[in-house]
Amino acid sequence: MSFRIRAGFYRQEVNKTVWDVPERYRDLLQVGTGAYGTVCSAIDRKTGVRVAIKKLHRPFQSRLFAKRAYRELRLLKHMKHENVIGLLDVFTSEISLDRFQDFYLVMPFMGTDLGKLMKMERLSEDRVQFLVYQMLRGLKVKSGVVYRYVLILRLVLCCVQILDFGLARQADSEMTGYVVTRWYRAPEVILNWMRYSQTVDIWSVGCITAEMLLGRPLFKGNDHLDQLREIMKITGTPAPDFIMKLQSQDAKNYIRSLPKVPKKDLHTIFFKASSDVVSAMERMLVLDPDGRVSAAEALELPMFSDFREPEEETEALPYDHSMDNTDLPLEQWKRHTFTEILSFQPPLTELRDSKETSL
């Protein structure tokens, strides 16, 4: 049941949530919900393409939520690259700031994700190389923009895209059902490191590379501590300088209590893989993030020499972080968000229908 609320917009209730959306988006179907929002799939009648529309849950209920919503929108507007999921549209049904309470983000609908692909078939090494190259291209674009965890790697038209909602951590299972578990978390995330560098994502790529080659997760811990033990069975127990960098005294004590384990040679685990591929994983799966390869450095490794197009390996334009550390009243965050919505320019090229993709 839907009805028109103003020119160009209609209202529909989807699973007890009210959606006020433009006429161009039809056939709304809820595909996921989380702490911060709900996602529906819809058909964009303008392009004929299925899209994902995210309605943030009460984005202006507090200053914290308002700032989070503003940053998420800013980051999505900023990212423009074929290997990073971008924003197709953003809208609100309200035309005045004083009535503005909700807004909606429109992105490409998730087609095939790597989780599904890995369950369907074992990938050949050259396909693994190509997919990892695409991931790293996306991460190179992200570098300096989002110091967050790589959430989902998704296949579109034989091309990997990275989905990152900025701060919306619930996005993983909402959008694809492929939950990013602790198995892909970098050690510094598990250990609650005092700062995350850009290489936090590289660890995840190393884990996914290993899984594509093995057909199973490399580090399959049952809980956080077990995850660390699984990691250190391969990386070896860390050196004292690594332990000194940890912020938590409990983490330091725990690691010091572990039996000393030497680093394992990855060639013994990936004995069917080429030495170039194994060497690349050795550079990605380094316990200390300071010693881990960056996306730009990884792209220059011999593993990717057959796929490299250096002129295509662009970095994003500098992102203005000036607002990230400001503490504004709720109404000001709301005003800034409203302005960002009004100034949104849709991408020049509309995505073609991203149906289930096979590589």
Instruction: Residue 171: name the closest of 83, 78, 85, 100 by CA.
Output: 85
Please state the φ and ψ torsions of residue 324, each to the nearest 5 degrees: -65, -30
Question: Where do the H-state alpha helices sit in 46-193?
Answer: 63-78, 114-120, 125-142, 171-176, 187-190
d(CA 223, CA 106): 35
- Cα 75 to Cα 72, 105, 146, 321: the distances in Å are 5, 12, 8, 10
Q: Is 119 annotated as a binding residue?
A: no
130/80 Cα distance (integer angstroms) = 21
196-223 burial by CB neighbour count: b if 16+ within 10 A, else e? ebbbbbbbbbbbbbbbbbeeebbbebee
- What is the token pair recorded at 280? 């690349």
Residue that has been written with the tokens 């087609």 in this structure = 111
User: Measuring CA to CA, how many Å separate 28 from each of 50, 90, 105, 123, 128?
Assistant: 10, 16, 14, 34, 35
Binding-site residue positions for ATP: 55
What residue numbers does the annotated binding site cover?
A: 55
